[in-house]
């Protein structure tokens, strides 16, 4: 099964991708995660991407397309994958079509997760992550019992550099201008499904499973 998860930053597509990955045993390919790892490890890719990411801008198309092509070669992608955060521009989507054609594989569905802008801003600006175990919190919706400390492992919580209010506004703007046109792109190919993602995690997951045919 080949899926694309579309939607603005903060819609929860990463969380849902992880749940789908478990249920269907197909990997989640998150270009955001791959780039963040590269920045953390200070690799040449990370050095190229860091400035764009900190400003809330998109990393150049050729860089992310290269990442995806490399990732598809891995054996874990043989029975399918979920693309989370890729494509994010029309040229990326066109390149993806070419790569899939070359590999003779077919996209099953692009799923567009929809959430109101005000909720997205709270979800992103309130997001906190554990430095130690990666557990995610939100100071508005799912706060840890002690401020700044992980309930699970007592690790220190931190805020992603691109989750500050100013950068969030920029990311949402970039989404609207560069990524939203993909909705029309996949609609015209009759590959688009939409999920109202303003509900709780389990409800959204059930909706998603119904859509994918359990
Ligand atoms: P995400 O975790 O998906 O919100 O991605 C975090 C950041 O990584 C984005 O704001 C971009 O700077 C960069 N990024 C992730 N995926 C892409 C992509 N497909 N194209 C360009 N930049 C990306």
Ligand 1 atom closest to 162 (CA): 10
Provide CB contacts within 8 A for 11, sequence distance 6+.
Answer: 113, 114, 115, 120, 197
Ligand 1 atom index nearest CA of 9: 4
Going from the C-alpha of 18 to that of each of 21, 24, 89, 127, 156, the distances in angstroms are 5, 10, 23, 17, 23
Structure-token match 């109101």, residue found: 116
85 lines ligand 1 (CB under 6 A): yes
pTM: 0.91
Instruction: Please tell me which residue in 36, 88, 123, 128 is annotated as part of the active site.
Output: 88
Q: What is the pLDDT of residues 40-98, one digit of tens each?
A: 999 999 999 999 999 999 999 999 999 999 999 898 988 899 999 999 999 999 999 99
Cα-to-centroid distance, 213 and ligand 1 (Å): 29
Q: pLDDT (tens digit, 9 = 90+) per residue, 125-162?
A: 999 999 999 999 999 999 999 999 999 999 999 999 89
Q: What number of other Cβ atoms are within 10 A of residue 136's Cβ?
A: 13
**Does residue 160 have an active-site annotation?**
yes
Q: What percent of the chain has pLDDT over 90?
A: 89
| Domain limits, the chain | 2-26+79-211
**Ligand 1 pocket: which of 31, 91, 94 to mutate (most atoms <8 Å of CB)?**
31
Alpha carbons 8 and 115: distance in angstroms, whole number: 8
Q: What is the pLDDT of residue 112?
A: 98
**Topology, domain 2-26+79-211:** Rossmann fold (3.40.50)
Measure the N-to-C terminal CA separation of the chain; round to a whole number of Å: 12
Q: What is the pLDDT of residue 213?
A: 86
């Amino acid at each position: 099964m080949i899926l694309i998860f579309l939607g603005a930053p903060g819609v929860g597509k990463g969380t849902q991708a992880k749940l789908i990955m478990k249920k269907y045993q197909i990997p989640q390919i998150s270009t955001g995660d791959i780039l963040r790892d590269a920045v953390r490890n200070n690799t040449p890719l990370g050095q190229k991407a860091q400035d764009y990411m900190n400003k809330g801008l998109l990393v150049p198309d050729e860089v992310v397309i290269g990442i995806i092509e490399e990732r598809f070669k891995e054996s874990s992608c043989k029975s399918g994958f979920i693309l989370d955060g890729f494509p994010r521009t029309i040229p990326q989507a066109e390149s993806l079509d070419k790569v899939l054609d070359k590999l003779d594989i077919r996209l099953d569905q692009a799923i567009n997760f929809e959430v109101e802008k005000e909720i997205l801003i709270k979800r992103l600006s309130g997001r906190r992550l554990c430095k130690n175990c990666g557990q995610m919190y939100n100071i508005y919706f799912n706060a840890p019992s002690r401020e700044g400390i992980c309930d699970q492992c007592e690790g220190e919580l931190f805020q992603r550099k691109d989750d500050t209010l100013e950068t969030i506004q920029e990311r949402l703007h970039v989404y609207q201008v560069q990524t939203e046109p993909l909705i029309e792109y996949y609609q015209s190919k009759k590959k688009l499904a939409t999920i109202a993602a303003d509900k709780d995690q389990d409800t959204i997951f059930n909706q998603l499973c119904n859509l994918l045919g359990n």
